Amino acid sequence: MLPLNEHLLNQVLLIAYQAGKHLQRFYQQHIDVQIKEDNTPVTEADLFVSQFLTEKLTALFPQTPVLSEENCHIPFEERQTWKEYWLIDPLDGTQQFINRTEQFSVLITLVRNNKPVLSVIHAPILSLTYYAMEDFGAFKKQGEQVKKLAKNTTDFNRTSCSPILRIAVGATTSQEKVRSILPKDLPCEFVVMGSSSLKSGLVAEGIVDCYVRLGQTGEWDTAGAEVLLGETNGQIFDPQFAPLTYNQRETLINPAFVMVADKSINWTSIFRFN
89 annotated ligand binder: yes
Domain count, the chain: 2
- Residue 45's CATH number: 3.30.540.10
Closest CA to 141 of 117, 124, 166, 153: 124
Same domain (yes/no): 39, 80: yes
Residue 81: its pLDDT value, please?
A: 97
Please indicate, yes or no, whether residues 14 and 128 belong to a single structural domain of this protein.
yes
Residues 11, 137 within the same domain: yes
Supply the mean pLDDT for the chain: 94
Question: CA–CA separation, 217 vs 200, rounded Å?
Answer: 13
**Residue 58 marked as a ligand binder:** no
Do residues 218 and 93 touch, judged by C-beta distance below 8 A?
Answer: no
Which of 88, 113, 148 terminates a domain? The answer is 148
pLDDT for 157: 53
Would 1 be classed as within a structural domain? no
- Structural domain including 131 reads 6-148
Q: What is the pLDDT of residue 159?
A: 47
Contact 188, 182 (CB under 8 A): yes
**By the 8 A CB rule, do 116 and 123 touch?**
no
Q: Specify if 158 maps to a domain.
A: no
> Does 92 carry a binding-site annotation?
yes
pLDDT at residue 158, rounded to an integer: 45
pLDDT, tens digit, for every residue of 205-214? 999 999 999 9
- Confidence band for 274, pLDDT divided at 50, 70 and 90: confident
Residue 94 labeled ligand binder: yes
Look up the pTM and report it: 0.95
Find the range with the poorest average confidence among 26-40, 55-69, 245-259: 26-40
Domain boundary, last residue among 148, 182, 212: 148
Q: Are 34 and 57 in contact (CB under 8 A)?
A: no
Annotated binding-site residue? 91:
yes
Instruction: In whole angstroms, give the CA distance from residue 85 to residue 178.
Output: 33
What Rg value do the Cα atoms of the chain yield, rounded?
A: 18
Residue 109, annotated ligand binder?
A: no
Are both 137 and 179 inside the same structural domain?
A: no
Would 157 be classed as within a structural domain? no
Residue 156 lies in a domain: no
User: Who's near 151: CB < 8 A, 6+ residues apart?
Assistant: 232, 233
Q: What is the DSSP string of 60-72?
A: H-TTS-EEETTB-
- Where a domain ends, among 114, 148, 182? 148
Model confidence pLDDT, tens digit, residues 116-164: 999 999 999 999 999 999 999 999 999 999 999 999 986 665 444 458 9
Question: 32 and 132 share a domain?
Answer: yes
Does 143 carry a binding-site annotation? no
